[in-house]
Amino acid sequence: MSDKRWKLVAATMKKNNYNPRALIEVLHVVQDSFGYIDYDAMAYVARELKVPFSKVYGVVTFYHGFMSKPAGEHTLVLCTGTACYVKGNDQITDWLKERFGLDPNQTTPDNKLSFMAARCVGACGLAPVMILDGQIVGKLSVEEMKAKIEEWLSDDNNQ
Ligand code: FES
């Protein structure tokens, strides 16, 4: 939460005395600051304003002005839950940074790839897990995962 964008979000909630009625205003600040409102952000706002997560989720998905995911053409969600972490997903996080300059919740400048980190996607039996454009990929070695990501991204260039 040291990111100054979060400070802006927190300040907006504080200014409104954490009134649940400020929900839309707060979500606009998240959207404007980050470009989208992911699950973690929804959970954070829900907790702080004491409104049910389902309500926040409903608002985000209902209003066209809000986006629940980044704008990249492709989305890679990497599970960073314990089962996946111990099987090497931390190395994939490092590699994504090195290879594409991406930290979690960032998109490449050409908008080709968005990288999101998730806590546990509920498929621990397949650890280490990543989700490539909605497709779960699991049970690969670190090297195989890297190769799979490269292949997935290069498929586009061949079409
Ligand atoms: S920890 Fe990765 S799927 Fe559960």
Mean per-residue pLDDT over the chain, rounded: 88
**Known binding-site positions:** 79, 84, 120, 124
Would you say residue 69 lies in a domain?
no
**Known binding-site positions for [2Fe-2S] cluster:** 79, 84, 120, 124
**140 closest CA partner among 88, 77, 96:** 88
Q: Report which secondary-structure segment, H or E, holds 117.
A: strand 113-118
Range of the domain at 128: 74-157
pLDDT value of position 62? 82
Reply yes or no on whether the pLDDT at 159 is more than 60. Answer: no
Q: What is the position in ligand 1's atom list of the atom closest to the CA of 123? A: 3
Would you say residue 67 lies in a domain?
no
- 87-107 pLDDT, tens per residue? 999 999 999 999 999 998 788
pLDDT value of position 73? 86
Query: Which of 121, 136, 137, 140 should be mutated for ligand 1, with most atoms under 8 A from CB?
Result: 121
Note if the pTM is more than 0.75: no
The whole-number average pLDDT for the span 23-37 is: 85
The whole-number average pLDDT for the span 70-85 is: 86
Number of domains in the chain: 2
Any residues with CB less than 8 A from the CB of 107 and at least 6 apart, and which?
35, 70, 71, 72, 113, 114, 115
